[in-house]
Amino acid sequence: MMMINRTFGAALACAGLLATMATMATAQTMPQQGDDMMPQDMSDMNDMPHAGKHHQMHRHGPIGVPGRHQLPKGKLVLTYRYGGMEMSGIRQGTNDMDANTLVTTVPNAFAALPGQPPTIRVAPVNMSMDMHMLGAMYAPSKRLTLMGMLPYVEKSMTMRTYAGPVGTTVLGDNTTRSNGLGDIRLGALLALNKTPKGGARLGLGLSLPTGSITETGQMLSPMNTRPTRRLAYSMQLGSGTFDLHPSLTYETGRGALNWGGQMRAIVRLGDNDEGYRLGHEAALSGWLSYRAAPWISYSGRAEYRHAGRIKGRDSNIAGPSLGADPRNYGGDYVTLYAGADLTPRRGPLKGQLLGVELGVPVYQNLNGVQSKTDWSIAVAWRKPF
């Protein structure tokens, strides 16, 4: 029920945002006097401050693409971004698995420890993650854009505990939560070549280990006790390590169409203080966007992402659950996205950028046994100065 409510809520949020976009922009559908008298294709008008600004807002990738926008020299942009993700169900590799099969056949990695059952006894029901990010971008030169992001993370996981060391009798459900500051991220974008229609740029980011990796919560054990233990790796708020975020992006366009691609990675720099590191990641993304009007564009995007297993182990994370085993992390994912960007040209949001992108996975080949990703959503607001 929680997952259905969140899915319905996300759908309403998307519909509401797009409806707001349409309402604010209805006045733009008819040509007006003055600045609104602009041609549909403004690719040759980048020297005109007002026309070029609105055109360039749609000459970049969807909001789900990190480092998607290079700023003009001297420009400052403040940003707010929301990201949400929902997970449910159980999968081993590319095959779905039911909870009864999980708790009777999948070995418990900690079975050798005193009091531990031979198989998994705590099955995932659903997990949600919400991230709120405040950011700023500034361009000290026409080729260089600097960025900083401050994230606040909220996570919730519901688990179903089965009674005793064997069998399929359900003892009950238990929900744990964690929230707080995530890993602060700093970065820079360097234009390798820049034309009125796009170009290539190199991105390099560094995330700082400011998010907690020692979050705890109350568990429901198979013996019907409620000990307080350190939460699973996926419920922690940060990586605990300094991480590099390199990227290479190319985009171009013609008329109302814009397309591009990006390669990016996350490289973990050593182990954290708890004796492990999250897996390295690599992703390849491609997109196509269509500018339906000077104030709105729609986009479609496909992304392949590989995430490695966790290396090492936190000695305080143990138990008969999937999330306690570092081998049950990472995998290969293919996700399709649909999005929209809008730049209102009148009213209180004039000149600002609003965007939304919804993602649905079409392929998941997971390491070990894990919960599946159901969907993700990103919503963004940008205010240039």
Q: What is the pLDDT of residues 70-94, one digit of tens each?
A: 889 999 999 999 999 999 999 999 9
What is the arithmetic mean of pLDDT over 242-254? 95
3-class state of residue 151 by DSSP? strand
Output b/e per residue, 209-219; b: 16+ Cβ within 10 A: bbbbbebebeb
- Measured in residues, the chain has a length of 385
pLDDT tens for 173-188 read 999 999 999 999 999 9
Better-scored residue on pLDDT, 350 or 356: 356
Whether 371 shows a pLDDT value over 60: the answer reads: yes
Better-scored residue on pLDDT, 49 or 326: 326
The pTM (predicted TM-score) of the whole model is 0.83
The pLDDT value recorded for residue 6 is: 44
DSSP-assigned letters across all residues of 24-67: HHGGGSS--SGGG---S--TT-TTSHHHHHHHHTTSS--TTSTT
Closest CA to 229 of 109, 309, 324, 123: 324
Whether 39 shows a pLDDT value over 60: the answer reads: no
3-class state of residue 7 by DSSP? helix
Sequence-ordered strand ranges (E) for the chain: 76-93, 95-97, 122-138, 144-162, 170-181, 185-195, 198-207, 216-218, 228-230, 243-254, 257-268, 276-277, 281-293, 296-307, 311-312, 331-342, 353-384
With cut-offs at 50, 70 and 90, classify the pLDDT of residue 40.
very low
Taking the domains of the chain in order of start, what are their residue ranges? 2-24+43-384
Radius of gyration of the chain (CA): 23
What is the arithmetic mean of pLDDT over 186-194? 92
Whether 350 shows a pLDDT value over 90: the answer reads: no
Residues 6+ apart with CB under 8 A from 312: 271, 275, 276, 277, 326
CATH of domain 2-24+43-384: 2.40.128.130
Gap between the Cα atoms of 144 and 71, Å rounded: 8
Contact between 241 and 277 under an 8 Å Cβ cutoff? The reply is: yes
Cα–Cα distances in Å, from 190 out to 71, 201, 361?
A: 10, 5, 31
